[in-house]
Every structure is written in C-alpha cells, then in structure tokens.
C-alpha cells in the first residue's frame, strides 16, 4: 500500500538566507503560443519570491534577459517561460544560460529539449520499458504532411489524437473519432512548427504527478485526478473554467504508489531535474497507466496542478517557489 500523501517526507530547505540567491530574474512571457499562461505564472512566482525576501524582478522574454545579463543585473534565473520557439522549455534558453554561467531553475539542455519533443520522449520511455500510448510520427514536407494519414489511422485505430510534437497546454490537439475528422485535425496541428504525432486515445482517467527536488534526489508528489465538466481537459478547462475538479491524491493504495513510481521513472529517464510534472492516462477498462508527456516548467497559475499537489504535503506556494529556486543552487539538489 502507498503512504498517505501527508506521510511523504521532504528534507528541510538547504538555503535559509534569501541573499544567497542574489538578484533573481523571473523569466516569463516570451513569444511562444503559451505566452499568456506564462505571464500569469510569472506574476505569481514573482510575488511569492518577493514575499520571502528574495531580490526578484520580472523579465519578459529571452532577448530582454540577455540584455539584463549583459548589464550585470542577473545572478540567477527562475524560468517560468512555457513552450518552445521563444518559450524557455526547449533547451535553447538552457544552453544560453549554461554558456553564460548563469544558474537557472528546472532541467538542463538535454532534459528540456527531450521533454519538449513528445516523439523522442516516447522513444526513450519505450527503450526502458515504460508504458506510453501507441503512436505514429507524421513527417512534413514542403507540400504538407508527407505520410499517409489514413494508413496511419488504420494502424493506430480509432479513436485517436493528433497533435504537434513540440507544443504544450493542449495547443493544436484534436480528438478524432472517425476518418472524416482526420483532415481538420491534421490542418490544426500543422499550424505549429515541427513534426506531428498521431496517438492512441486512451479512454479513462486523466492524472498528473508533480516531481520536486528533495535533498539529493527527487520525490513524486501525490497524484491529481482531473475531472473536467466537459468531456476533455482542454485549454479552456485548464486555464479558464472554474468547474474543473481536481482530486488529490487521485488514486489510492497500490495504484497511487505505482503512478508515482512510473512518473518519477519517466521524469528521470528523460534527463529532467529540479522540478516538473508528468501527465498520465489510466485506461478505464484495464487500469493500465500510459505516460503522455513531461512538463519541465509547469504552470504556476491559480488553476495549476503542482501547487495543488504540494499543498497536500504541507508545502505552500511560497515554500514551493523557494524550493524550486533552491534547486538551482550548487549543492541544493542533485540532477
């Protein structure tokens, strides 16, 4: 049986003096499709850090951050950018900061780049025996989608999902129940750069597991089961609707222990560190878990899930932001 959520133990913070962090740039906004969510998250993080005495200030986007670093104003970065192509989750920002010698929160270059690419993440998970829905990669050409979408759909079987491989927050995602819906679904996903992914639609419970640095390692927080008012947990349900239910912990007993185990294994297999969130489906008929993706800079809005899970183990929002920031300090948390 799994431990109750209240019995999960966390090491005491290693940093007690906020001056250790120096001047902290809370990096938000940017130019990705998730800009507005990032701005909302960033404002919350900024307020929380300031409330704990951290010398934190807002920076909107990577070019502005580079200017601030050149001006000698930045000692550390709390990255709360979301997405890629101007977001800060695809490894580009991490490579820049590593080259400049500026510490930052979240995963390094490898973990960030890999987790942003759903196809490559799946390949890694399958190589180590972790469960993920069946999928087909849809390659592009200058004329559009090069592969035979109908043939891929027959291989996967209906119902299925079509989505961009490198977007988050349910951007560009379609659920397809018959062949007639394929064209529109591909057209929507094709609006976004990069490859596309056709994936088995798992019918069942949608769950997510936050991961947080803890001493010399990482700990999986209690799972959250998401119960949207509508049929799907889409962008509206995630960020706008007030009637989505979040049950934490989302499961009980051995099932809760297992989802935490595979979520932590998935996070580490993808080379991630510091903090993150692993999204999982549980098949309603079989109880089988299927890993969907890792978010390396999860949302910190009023609707966001990592803060909800952290509260279940006695870690409030300000303490959560402190712990995430602390993981960027050498000797704070091992990758």
State the pTM of this model. 0.88
CATH fold of 18-106 reads Rossmann fold (3.40.50)
Q: Where does the pLDDT of residue 256 fall: very low under 50, low under 70, confident under 90, or very high at 90 and above?
A: very high
Q: How far is CA 289 from CA 29, 60, 100, 159, in A?
A: 33, 38, 40, 18
For residue 138, pLDDT beyond 60: yes
pLDDT beyond 80 at 9: yes
What is the predicted pLDDT for the residue at 310? 96
b/e 233-272 (16+ beta carbons within 10 angstroms → b)? bbbebbbeeeebebebbbbeeebbebbbebbbbbbbbbbb
CA–CA dist 162, 219 (Å, integer): 32
pLDDT at 147: 56
| The one catalytic residue among 33, 223, 304, 328 | 304
Q: Tell me whether residue 2 is one of the annotated catalytic residues.
A: no
The stretch 72-97 carries a mean pLDDT of: 90
pLDDT at res. 142: 52
DSSP state of 292: E
The token duo for 208 is: 């997510």
- Catalytic residue at 34? yes
Q: Where are the domains of the chain?
A: 18-106, 114-130+202-326, 135-200
Q: Are 244 and 237 in contact (CB under 8 A)?
A: yes
> Does 318 have pLDDT greater than 70?
yes
Q: Which of 2, 169, 327, 328 is catalytic?
A: 169
The CA-atom distances, in angstroms, between 201 and each of 174, 204, 294, 332 are 10, 9, 18, 39
Q: Does residue 95 surpass a pLDDT of 70?
A: yes
The percentage of the chain sitting over the pLDDT mark of 90, rounded to a whole number, equals 67
Lowest mean pLDDT among 17-31, 56-70, 77-91: 77-91
Based on C-alpha coordinates, what's the Rg of the chain?
A: 19
* Choice among 34, 89, 167, 326 that is catalytic: 34
Contact 10, 315 (CB under 8 A): yes
Q: How far is CA 324 from CA 1, 214, 250, in A?
A: 29, 10, 23
The alpha carbon of residue 117 and the mean position of all alpha carbons in its chain are separated, in whole angstroms, by 12
User: Does CATH number 1.10.3720.10 belong to domain 135-200?
Assistant: no
Identify the CA nearest to 327 among candidates 208, 209, 211.
211
Give the lowest-confidence range in 43-47, 71-75, 109-113, 224-228: 224-228
pLDDT of residue 231: 60
pLDDT in tens, 227-244: 987 665 555 555 555 678
Burial class (CB in 10 A: 0-12, 13-18, 19+), 88: buried
What's the CA gap between 245 and 227, in Å, rounded? 5
Q: Is residue 256 among the annotated active site residues?
A: no
Task: Using the predicted structure, report yes or no on whether residue 170 has a pLDDT greater than 70.
Answer: no
Q: What is the pLDDT of residues 200-218, one digit of tens each?
A: 999 999 999 999 999 999 9
Least confident of 11-25, 124-138, 182-196, 272-286: 182-196
Is 21 in contact with 45 (CB distance < 8 Å)?
Answer: no
User: In the CATH hierarchy, which top-level class contains the domain 114-130+202-326?
Assistant: alpha beta
Convert the pLDDT of each residue in 285-304 to its tens digit.
Answer: 999 999 999 999 999 987 88
To the question of whether residue 326 is assigned a binding role by annotation, the answer is: no
Side-chain-side CA neighbours of 49 within 13 Å: the count stands at 32
Average pLDDT, the chain: 88
Cα-Cα-Cα-Cα torsion 322, 327, 333, 335, nearest 10 degrees, comes to: 150
- Residue 79 known to bind ligand: no
Same fold, 114-130+202-326 and 135-200: no
């Amino acid at each position: 049986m799994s431990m109750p959520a209240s019995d999960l133990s966390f090491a005491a913070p290693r940093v007690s003096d906020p001056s250790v962090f120096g001047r902290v740039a809370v990096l938000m906004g940017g130019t990705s499709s998730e800009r507005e969510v990032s701005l909302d998250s960033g404002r919350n993080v900024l307020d929380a850090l300031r409330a704990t005495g951290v010398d934190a200030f807002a920076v909107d986007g990577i070019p502005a951050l580079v200017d601030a670093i050149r001006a000698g104003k930045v000692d550390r970065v709390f990255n709360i950018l979301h997405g890629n192509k101007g977001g800060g989750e695809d490894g580009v920002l991490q490579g820049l900061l590593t080259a400049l010698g500026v510490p930052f929160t979240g995963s390094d270059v490898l973990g960030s780049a890999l987790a942003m690419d759903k196809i490559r993440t799946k390949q890694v998970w399958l190589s180590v025996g972790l469960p993920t829905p069946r999928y087909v990669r849809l390659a592009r050409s200058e004329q559009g989608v090069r592969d035979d979408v109908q043939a891929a759909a027959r291989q996967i079987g209906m119902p299925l999902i079509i989505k961009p491989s490198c977007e988050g927050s349910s951007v560009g995602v379609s659920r397809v129940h018959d062949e007639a819906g394929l064209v529109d679904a591909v057209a929507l996903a094709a609006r976004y750069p990069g490859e596309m992914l056709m994936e088995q639609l798992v019918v069942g419970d949608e769950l997510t597991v936050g991961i947080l640095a803890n001493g010399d390692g990482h700990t999986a927080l209690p799972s959250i089961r998401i119960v949207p008012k509508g049929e799907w947990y889409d962008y509206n349900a995630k960020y706008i609707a007030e009637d989505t239910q979040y049950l934490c912990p989302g499961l009980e007993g051995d099932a809760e222990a297992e989802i935490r185990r595979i979520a932590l294994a998935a996070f580490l297999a993808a080379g991630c560190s510091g903090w993150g969130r692993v999204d999982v489906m549980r098949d309603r008929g079989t109880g089988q878990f299927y890993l969907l993706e890792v978010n390396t800079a999860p949302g910190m809005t009023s609707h966001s899930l990592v803060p909800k899970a952290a509260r279940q183990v006695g870690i409030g929002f300000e303490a959560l932001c402190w712990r995430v920031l602390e993981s960027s300090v050498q000797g704070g948390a091992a990758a």
